[in-house]
Amino acid sequence: MVSILSGLVGGLVATIVMTMFMMGLGDDSPPPTAALWAKYVGDERPESYMMQGMVLHMLYGIGAGGAFAVGVTALGLGVGAGVLTTSLLWAVIYGLALTVVGAIFWMRIVLAMEPEPKMVGTFAFFHLVYGVVLGASVTYIPL
């Protein structure tokens, strides 16, 4: 069983690690959340909203960790302290599901972007990292 608090903390830790990977391996382009900010809040190009985009991404990651905790607990998936393999499995599946939602719903529908296959691949890798760290976090940070 995973508490909402451990999911939120796990989401924070996972988003920080994911962001470090994005900054180290990315192409220095603004994250899709900066494009979201530019389209719906600002009046400049996404590059002008890097900080807002990163804050928004951090909030999404924290919320996604909380949603993961609620979901796996409600479904009785056996995630949490002492069950690393199961926690990693479900969190990786969840991270990949976030990739699909991000690439199809957020990028294509909300932002009207057509991401290139390479971008979708790196997007999937970063969310895979998020899933691995989230799974490990909810296993080893039992709150």
| CA 87 – CA 92 distance, rounded (Å) | 8
**One-letter identity of residue 69:** A
Mean pLDDT of 9-28: 92
Provide Rg for the chain, Cα atoms. 15
pLDDT digits (tens, 9 = 90+) for 48-100: 999 999 999 999 999 999 999 999 999 999 898 889 999 999 999 999 999 99
**What's the predicted TM-score (pTM) here?**
0.93
pLDDT at residue 139 tops 80: yes
CA-nearest of 133, 122, 124, 113 to 68 is: 133
CB 31 within 8 A of CB 22: yes
